[in-house]
Amino acid sequence: MIRLNHLPTLRIKPGAPRSFRYGRRRLQGVDGDTVATALFANGVRVFGRSLKYHRPRGLYSLDGESSNTLVNVDGVPNVCAETTLLAEGMRVSSQNAFPGPDFDLLGFMDALSWAMPAGFYYRVLHKPARLWPLAVPFIRKMAGVGTLSADFQAPGRRDEIYPAADVCVIGAGVAGMSAALAAAEAGLRVVLFESRPWPGGAFEYRPGTARDGVAYYRKTAELAAAVQASPHIRLFLNAPVIGVYSDGLVTAFQRGRPPHPFDERYIEVRAASVVAATGCSERPLLFDHNERPGVMQAGCAHRLARTWGILPGRTAVFSVGHDLGLEAAVDLFDLGVEIAAVAELRQDGLDRALVDALAQRRIPLLRGWSVTKAHGRHRVTRVTLAGPNGRFRKTIDCDLLVASAGFTPVTGPLTLAGARLAFDAHTGFFLPASLPPRVHAAGRLTGRQDWHAVAVSGRLAGLSAVHDSGIDRTAAIGESIDELASLPGPARGTQFVLAPGSGKKAFICFDEDATVKNVDQAMDKGFDVPELIKRFASVGTGPGQGGIPGHNLPLYVHQSGASPDGHPRPTTVRVPLTPTFLATYAGTRLDMSKRTPLHALQVADGGRMERLGVWHRARRFSEDERSREEILAVRTAVGMLDASTLGKFRIFGPDAVKVLDRVYVGDMTRVPRTRAKYSAMCNEDGCLADDGVIVCTGDNDYYFTTSTGRAGMTVEWIRYHTRFDDWDFGIVNLTDAYGVINLAGPEARTVLQRVTDADVSNEAFPYMGYREFAVDEIPVRAMRLGFVGELSFELHVPASWMVHVWNRLMAAGGDLGIRPFGLEAQNTLRLEKCHVIIGSESEQRTTLHDVGLGFLWHRDKPWAKTVGDTALRQTEHQPGRLKLVGFRMADPTAPLPGDGSVIVDRRIRGYVCTARYSFTLKEPVGLALVDDALSAEGSSLAIHEDGCGGRLARAVVTETPFYDPEGLRLRM
């Protein structure tokens, strides 16, 4: 197709061709084309087929309001052709049509639409019952548009940015640019979002003149130049706003084009003030076959010519309800389109100049007329017009029908920001009745259509945003208000929805093939609220999310008299305002995980790293899933565990000990300087929440550890439980400041003694002792603990010295067979010793008593009001609770039951918490939570494992711990 290449409003470079593929065809567009305009220029009229009835669908709008032009681009389904710029070498194909959009085998579905009234699925296909499961695969296959393969890999580069701004302006039309400039003049930082690839909105393509005699496009270009020259305005083009939240949080995404280093990026702005200047889209006119290819909105037809140099048709009929439609008719005539007739819904209130212009061009203007039907199988060939009340019919041949009932203000961002809308009878719009603080509305969405009025309303909004920021703009705001009052106010709008005598094939929602008849059917069933009709008749729930029916549905329901309170009520608008790729939302996918100071060493030593919560940890150091060698090293020689993920805290101040008494169940008033105290925290129900060790490091100064998983919430937990006490204490999270090495095994002391001058003999540093000494002048906090059941030292080392100390110990123990061990070995070792791990042997049904740690509870410290104390008293002897027991298999050669297997009789009586094969004892051992009736030593347990086929394994409750019951190994 030959382009008009002389127009000053063009956004294309006719001399820069771009070739692309469409199905099997090789086509050519030009730089500046969208996929949609390039296809249209190449004569493509049917872009795809509709969801349900497989009706042919074509170019209707240009901003992605409907799903008509969703195509597959380079393997990505549901790409909006209207808003995607053409790139060299693109592979484009149509969707939902086989073999192709012009001839679709499922096209016959359209003839069956009578059999699929609103809510059709709810009423049929379940009789008889066995029909439904058979119908489901068929329904699923028919539903959905676009195919995504299971092995699809998203192409392209993603990014995310979080710019800060004082003012965020949504929409770079005349109002938005005026608002941005007003704010920029005051030196505020402005972020300006525009969904189209260029600024200018509703005026940038129009050759008409403003009241000062200058063409709209010239005035708009001047404004855009000022915006682009302003150092205070950051203009994001091709960047639709997708979300607006409270307190000025605005999200958007931007489509990149060379030289941008991204293909799409996610943008999140926190602005002090928000200005919505989103303008209007066109409100569709409903009549039979109102979505036939060849029917398009006024702006679509006009912009095709003015922006892309493409004549939208040869012979056109217009059926419109606003001056912009008349303006388009005049201009398209001048550009060479034959205009057979202009039907105008309005009887009066038309722009006189435009009426005269039509008359000069001998274009027939039919006031009070409307199109009632579009004819033609795959594209419009003829239209029927009808006069007022549906009388005086007229049929005209044409290949283009420009149809538009009025305007719809784009209020999505405003409602998301918290504005309340009310129906305005003059404009026919839902207009903001109240705006939240620091949110402003401007421009055409307030109903104004005059260039100057739109610009001044934008300036007013910008000044108000400046005022929000504390810079006094009272005088300037007053001037703008006065100026606005002297300019034309909101234009009267039509509320006309449905052409007389039509409705069976008048589609209110294109995406889901819903007709006004379907809406009638929903109302007949008793649905009266537009929100429910929307759901029952599937209106506006498709890919376009109400862009087409959003305004017509409430108007139509209101006109039918069905709405209960007599006012039109809009349906809810939801994020994202423009459908957004998950890839774009996911952005750069930063992984904020944590590594211990020994991470690289652990990996180098063959550690199999796993993510546990935020941490990477080594589960084992060999292929052996049971970690036999690591276990035996600890039991017979010496091993080292990187325990740096433990929570580590300093708490200090005059009231620190009171705090510890509050959250720990033990008595914290007597923690001697040289001893480590093991204790537990409970919640209000007495459930074990955490355990750890507390040491006293100075006057009113303590250091304590928590389990890994609790580290993140410990400060908050403590602050919460002391919130009414006004105590004087400080707490510091040292988790990342210190690393921890657990040096364990009978040779642990030998190794340690080789690296320090301090006396670490059993006499000088006994079990449960605490010492501070130096290793190569590095201060080390050492505790003699025994989680794994051997002589062991827990060494707390400043994080930056961890590698050094680890290497020193490793070298010192080389001749003793020292080796690192991982979590799996630790788990078996501590199981043999029956030491609990929180969350593994405890859960929300178990109190401190239930898991056998009741001895930690100091019942006589009423002053402390210990968290969980009441519950611990009440549950101490309560019958019928789960109890932690140790078990061995009745047959020691029996296979190991899986963790989580249930213990049963006629009911479920408990479950296996952890069971492992003990290399030390040479048989399986385990811990289980069971009903207290089964907890006595010698009780027989029947274990039901998944997949056991009803064959129960037998176990016996035995004395604990399994290993070294006297605890001699800890004290050696």
- Please identify, using beta-carbon distances, which residue of 200 and 240 lies nearer to another protein: 240
DSSP letter string over 151-204?
Answer: T----S-EEEE--EEEEEEE--SHHHHHHHHHHHHTT--EEEE-SSSSS-TTTT
CA distance 52 to 451: 42
Min separation Cβ 579 and another protein, Å: 4
Among 543, 554, 739, 924, binds another protein (CB under 8 A): 543
Which residues, 6+ apart, have CB-to-CB distance to 616 below 8 Å? 593, 594, 595, 596, 599, 609, 610
| Ranges within 27-56 binding another protein (CB under 8 A) | 51
Count of residues in contact with another protein, rule CB under 8 A: 107
CA distance 453 to 644: 66
Instruction: Tell me which stretch binds another protein (CB under 8 A): 145-153, 225-233, 406-414, 777-785.
Output: 145-153
Among 105, 139, 811, 890, binds another protein (CB under 8 A): 139
Give residue 716's identity as a one-letter amino acid code. Answer: E
Among 474, 486, 844, 893, binds another protein (CB under 8 A): 844
- Please identify, using beta-carbon distances, which residue of 260 and 944 lies nearer to another protein: 944
Among 108, 121, 392, 855, binds another protein (CB under 8 A): 121
Instruction: Tell me which stretch binds another protein (CB under 8 A): 53-61, 322-330, 540-548, 919-927.
Output: 540-548
Min separation Cβ 586 and another protein, Å: 4
Give the burial string for 342-373 (b: 16+ CB within 10 Å, else e): bbbbbeeebbeebbebbeeeebebbeebbbbb
Among 150, 475, 604, 968, binds another protein (CB under 8 A): 150
Instruction: Tell me which stretch binds another protein (CB under 8 A): 115-123, 332-340, 455-463, 481-489.
Output: 115-123
| Ranges within 185-224 binding another protein (CB under 8 A) | none
Min separation Cβ 907 and another protein, Å: 6
* Beta-bridge partner residues of 254: 265
| 568 touching another protein, by CB under 8 A | no
CA atoms within 13 A on the CB side of 597: 22
Instruction: Tell me which stretch binds another protein (CB under 8 A): 34-42, 391-399, 429-437, 533-541.
Output: 533-541
SS (H, E, C) 672-731: CCCEEEEEEEECCCCEEEEEEEEEEEECCEEEEEECHHHHHHHHHHHHHHCCCCCCCCEE
* Beta-bridge partner residues of 167: 190, 273
- Please identify, using beta-carbon distances, which residue of 356 and 531 lies nearer to another protein: 531
Instruction: Tell me which stretch binds another protein (CB under 8 A): 128-136, 397-405, 746-754, 755-763.
Output: 128-136
DSSP letter string over 504-571?
Answer: TT-EEETTTTEEHHHHHHHHHTT--SHHHHHHHTT-S-STTTTTTTTTHHHHHHHHHT-STTSS--PP
- Please identify, using beta-carbon distances, which residue of 154 and 768 lies nearer to another protein: 154
CA distance 511 to 549: 10
Spell out, one character per residue from 892 to 931, where the chain touches another protein: x when CB under 8 A holds, - when not.
Answer: ------xxxxx-x--xx--x--------------------
CA atoms within 13 A on the CB side of 749: 18
| Ranges within 666-705 binding another protein (CB under 8 A) | 683, 685-687, 689
CA distance 239 to 252: 6
Min separation Cβ 684 and another protein, Å: 9
Min separation Cβ 278 and another protein, Å: 18
Among 106, 394, 581, 758, binds another protein (CB under 8 A): 581
Contact (Cβ atoms closer than 8 angstroms) between residue 830 and residue 788: yes
| 843 touching another protein, by CB under 8 A | yes
Cβ atoms within 10 Å of 661's Cβ, excluding its own: 20
Among 585, 767, 917, 919, binds another protein (CB under 8 A): 585
DSSP letter string over 12-52?
Answer: SEEEEEEEEEETTEEEEEEET-BHHHHHHHTT----EE-TT
Which residues, 6+ apart, have CB-to-CB distance to 136 below 8 Å? none
| Ranges within 333-372 binding another protein (CB under 8 A) | none
| 560 touching another protein, by CB under 8 A | no
Instruction: Tell me which stretch binds another protein (CB under 8 A): 322-330, 426-434, 875-883, 931-939.
Output: 875-883
* Beta-bridge partner residues of 819: 639
| 768 touching another protein, by CB under 8 A | no
| 279 touching another protein, by CB under 8 A | no
| 580 touching another protein, by CB under 8 A | yes
| 243 touching another protein, by CB under 8 A | yes
Min separation Cβ 691 and another protein, Å: 13
